[in-house]
Amino acid sequence: MADPSLALSRLLGIMDKLRDPGGCPWDREQTLRSLTPYVLEEAHEVIEAIESGDAVHHREELGDLLFQIVFQSRIAREAKQFDFADVCDAISDKLTRRHPHVFADVTVSGSGEVVKNWERIKAEERQEKGQAARSAIGGVPPGLPALVRAERLTEKASAVGFDWPDAEAVMAKVREELAELSHELSSGGSRERVESELGDLLFALANLGRFVKVHPEEALRGTLRRFEKRFHHIEDRLQQQGRTPRESTLLEMDGLWNEAKAIEADKSGA
């Protein structure tokens, strides 16, 4: 493998050449604001690469994401705000400070206590900076996918003791929310009431995912991939007959759906 220091120096040198006078016109025109969509896009592409299991693709997408960090650091350097080295030092200092059980003499009983210490240290940092105390569930970006945000909010609430005792208690809540949604649907409840109860059910399911250590966003993305694959199977099989899903019956499509599931089971050895 390449020397990390040399590889990073090369990347920083390329960034400088792109932004320096005589560099790339497009790169020289970019601002922090104009780069914002690319950061989000590259982060999602990293996730897709992880899910694909393709190491080469994963490596490339991580490089694209790293380039966004290098790019923003270069722009900040031009504004005399900070540079890439400052970014590295800032995260190194933060990680050292927030892991006293690794870099100091603090002892922890497990990951749960690590999370509590992390939140406590963050609160102390804000106080030292003269910043107002933040809510125990603060700091979760509103722009996150809703399932991810639900998981993070309940995780933060748990860190201060506001949580269910175990997964079975959460399951009971899931069943309760499902019953309430069913009641609204059967009684002709308003769209607002149905939306509210559906939201409560999804929130309870996200909480359950946290308890059983399955990220709800990842679980749903996996289900979506399976749905797409099986539906494409339906389309392919119908196309062989010169038809489309619109020209077939639900019974036919259900049969092909089950056929796709059986193929998956055979491949997995289930």
Q: For 19-53, how does the pLDDT look when each residue is reduced to its tens digit (9 = 90+)?
A: 999 999 999 999 999 999 999 899 999 999 998 89
Give the mean pLDDT of 219-232. Answer: 94
First to last CA, the chain: 38
d(CA 68, CA 83): 13
- Domain 4-95: CATH architecture, name and number where available: Orthogonal Bundle (1.10)
* Residues of the chain above pLDDT 70, percent: 100
- Give the CA-trace dihedral at 230, 234, 239, 244, to 10 degrees: -120
Task: Band the pLDDT of 270: cuts 50, 70, 90.
Answer: low
Q: Is 212 helix (H, G, I), strand (E, B) or coil?
A: coil
For residue 230, pLDDT beyond 80? yes
Give the mean pLDDT of 147-168. Answer: 92
Residue 132 is classified by DSSP as: P
- Contact present, 263 and 269 (Cβ < 8 Å): no
For residue 132, pLDDT beyond 70? yes
- Contact present, 10 and 19 (Cβ < 8 Å): no
d(CA 258, CA 247): 19
Report the interhelical angle of 32-52 vs 55-78 (nearest 10°): 160
For residue 124, pLDDT beyond 80? yes
Where does CATH 1.10.287.1080 sit in the chain? 4-95, 146-214
Pick the CATH number of 146-214 from 1.10.287.1080, 1.10.357.10, 3.30.540.10, 3.40.50.1370: 1.10.287.1080
d(CA 23, CA 35): 18
Give the mean pLDDT of 69-96. Answer: 97
Apex 257 CA angle, 255 and 260, nearest 5: 115
For residue 139, pLDDT beyond 70? yes
Query: Taking all residues of the chain, what is their mean pLDDT, rounded to a whole number?
Result: 93
d(CA 61, CA 137): 31
Higher pLDDT, 135 or 65: 65
